[in-house]
Amino acid sequence: MKLTVGFIAVALLFVILAAVVAMSLVLKVTAPPPPAASVAIALEDLRFTPNRIDARVGVPVTLLLTNRGLERHDLSFPARHMPGLRGVEAILEPGETRTVTLTFDRPGTHAFICTLPGHAASGMTGAAYVIP
C-alpha cells in the first residue's frame, strides 16, 4: 500500500513536470520576438533592407538609415501623424547616413515607403510591426 502511494506521488510529480515543460515550450513558440532597440536599414535602389521594424508602443526605436544606392531615397510613414518622424521625410543622398528615433503611439502594422516618384510602386516599401 505504501509503495503504491509513493508510486502515485512520483507519477503525479512527473505529470506536473511534463505539463510545466510543455507549457514553457508553448510560451516560447507563441511569444513575439523582442523588439530591437535599434534597427539598421539600408536604402538601396528600390528596396529597404530589411523592410521590417519591430517595435513596442511607447518604447523608442532608433533607425540607422544609410543610403547605399545610386539614387536619392527617403523613408516615410504616409498614413500616420507621427511627430517623432519629423526629418525622416528629408531625402538621403547616395552614401548619406542618418539616425532617427521613433516612438510609436499605437499598435498595429504601419506601412512606410520611399516617397520619390515611382520608388514605392517599384517595391520600395516596408512596415513597422508595433505590439502593445
With DSSP H G I counted as helix, E B as strand and the rest as coil, what are the percentages for the chain, rounded to 5? 25, 35, 40
65 versus 124: smaller Cβ distance to Cu ion = 124
Could you say which of 39, 61, 65, 73 contacts Cu ion (CB under 5 A)? 73
Among 88, 114, 128, 130, binds Cu ion (CB under 5 A): 114
Q: Kindly tell me which of 39 and 114 has the beta carbon lying closer to Cu ion.
A: 114
Contact between 70 and 50 (Cβ < 8 Å): no
Angle at 99 between CA 98 and CA 104, to 5 degrees: 130
Strands 108-113 and 38-44: unpaired
40 binds Cu ion (CB under 5 A): no
Task: Return the residue of 91, 116, 127, 131 that touches Cu ion, per CB under 5 A.
Answer: 116
Indicate which single residue of 48, 119, 128, 130 sits in contact with Cu ion (rule: CB under 5 A): 119
Q: Shortest gap between Cβ of 116 and Cu ion (angstroms)?
A: 4
Classified as helix, coil or strand, 121 is coil
